[in-house]
Amino acid sequence: MSRRCLPLSASLCFGLTALAVALCYGSENAGSGQDPTWRFAETLYSTGRFKEAAVEFQRFLFALPDSAERQRANAWLRTIDAYRQARRFDLAIQCLDTLETVAGIGEEVACRARIARARCLYANGDYRAALGTLSLIPPCGETHPDLARQVILLNATQDLHLGAWRIAIETLSPSSGADSIAGERTPTAARLRSLADRGAKMHPPSPLVASALSAGIPGLGRVYAGRTAEGLFSFALNAIAIWQCVDGFHDDGRSSLKGWAAGTIGLLFYTGNVYGSAVTAKQVHATETRTLMEEIDTTVEREIGP
């Protein structure tokens, strides 16, 4: 070999060695922020561009070698989470189906995958299916207390959304381990127990009772439903209509145009008031329930993330 070829051969050997080291380093540090694709995906995720982040996480995933099992599992979980945040639950479930068929993903990843599936179903409003998924997760309190705590909190959250207040309170009892994680006490379970107790004591107004009360005294049904100002306004309108009707017939007899007009308007007000009282009772119940559920969701998201 000539002397001119020696520097070229040495450079080529050095370059191949550096490339091999870089590839090994890249596979070992995949998912740890060293890869540009991963960093770009994390940037998209942090700025709320979840669907684009999911695509980038998948692109990173497909570039990984089959031997990098842990990195591939982490990339799958991040992809699923990004699709869930983008509310593309169908794509998240597809990724979960694929991940759960991979052999040797380990107990922790399998547990996280089930939790992710339950959260997708929960976010999509399918609370019973979410409970069914959570019931399939084996006990993992000794090996993974943080995951066990998430399962307890999510189980209770599904029960709360289904109105099973007492079951949720039992699930969140101090003996369940929901009050602490790795020995550190947190207020989330206690807060959820308080919300469950509030839900159990909630007595929504009855639409039938509201209608009956307004049929007897106009506006009283709205007062019963908690809308005092609306009730007083309804009473005033009906009172004015009745007064004008009586005054018209008193002055001009049965041929009074004012009496008939005021009576017709008064009858419309009266009928609308009876029906409106039932609607108001339903709206009050819906508002109270929605507010309570929003507080429950906020409490859980503060603990395990959105």
Q: What pLDDT shows up at residue 123?
A: 85
Q: What pLDDT shows up at residue 16?
A: 45
**Is-contact 225 277, C-beta < 8 A?**
yes
| Strand 184-185 relative to strand 180-181, pairing | antiparallel
The model carries a pTM of 0.65
Using 70 as the pLDDT threshold, list the residues of the chain that sit under it: 1-34, 103-104, 140-142, 176-186, 305-306
Per-domain boundaries in the chain: 207-295
Extended beta strands in the chain, E state: 180-181, 184-185
**Is-contact 94 116, C-beta < 8 A?**
no
SS3 call for 180: strand
d(CA 47, CA 32): 19
SS3 call for 1: coil
How open is the CA angle 40-48-117, to the nearest 5 degrees?
95
**Is-contact 150 115, C-beta < 8 A?**
yes
Q: What pLDDT shows up at residue 181?
A: 55
Q: What pLDDT shows up at residue 24?
A: 44
Q: Where are the alpha helices (DSSP H) in 86-126?
A: 89-100, 107-123
- Cβ burial of 19 (10 Å; 0-12, 13-18, 19+) is exposed
SS3 call for 293: helix
**Is-contact 273 238, C-beta < 8 A?**
yes
